[in-house]
Structure 1
Amino acid sequence: MKMIEPVQIQLIHIAKKQLGLSDEEYRLAIGAQTKGKKRSSAGLTYFEADGLINYFRTLGFKIQSNYIRTRGQARRSRWQPINDRKRARQNPANVIMLPSRDQIEMINVLQKKIAWRYEDGYQRWLEKYIKIPRIKTAQQASDTIEGLKGLLAHQQ
């Protein structure tokens, strides 16, 4: 029998906290998953712990990873190899995707919502942070939208 892994114990305790379970409810859940044999997570086997975690998922527990908790360019750069493979299947190397009308409209709306210090503040921001003089591709538009969202959130 494979014993419980420390990561599983951590997940069980995180689930207990996230779901707001009392100690009695928590122990009843363990007992229900082990057919009344155990009342502590330390004594669970690997498969019993897996079943308990899956049960907590049905109650609404969501496993969150710190690894993916960023937005925009940072997230995309972490998954770049996967995205490159998907993009290679969709578009040949010599095809450039232009920004969509929706992306341009979103940029214009966000641009108007932000209080710029200078009249040409958006253009300065675009050159300084996105490092482009103007938006030419869908990827640049996506980066700009994510950046503007972050700037707007920071201003509010």
Structure 2
Amino acid sequence: MSKAIDHLMKVHRPKQKIQNNRLRSVIVSIYLTKFVPCGDPANANGGRWLLTFGSPDMKLDDLWQETLLGMIGDCFSHDSDPQPLSRFITGCVVSIRVRGHKMGLWLSEAQNPNIVREIGRRWKSMMNLPSTIRIQFETHNESGSAQQKPIYEE
């Protein structure tokens, strides 16, 4: 665990990466398992919770770090859960672009609404997002299509 945290502290914060390199866009991703993000069969039935940053004032770097610490610290699971919810979390991706930033929490599960929604609620709570900020869940098999509509919203 301490090695993971040491490594995490060496990972550039997303906004720092774009400022240091004067890049127009940056995608940073961390995965907990060995898989190819969209193409891996373990992720075929999954999806992602998506937080879209409408304001540059949102603390992107803090939310990114909070999410990563929650992932490696198993903060998505509670003792009262019938099964650990953290086992369904496969990674986190942040995309920084001129037209707007996004952060996605990737899951291997999209079929069970109880699991998916509870992970979304816990992620939102972990980041201390106000109720006015919404996160949306979309499946990987439709992700990026023009017709993509969120399945859930928290």
By the TM > 0.5 criterion, same fold? no
TM-score (normalised: structure 2): 0.19
Task: Select the structure that is richer in helix.
Answer: 1
User: Comparing both chains, which one has the higher relative contact order based on Cα–Cα distances under 8 Å and sequence gaps of 6 or more?
Assistant: 2
TM-score (normalised: structure 1): 0.19
Task: Select the structure that is richer in strand.
Answer: 2
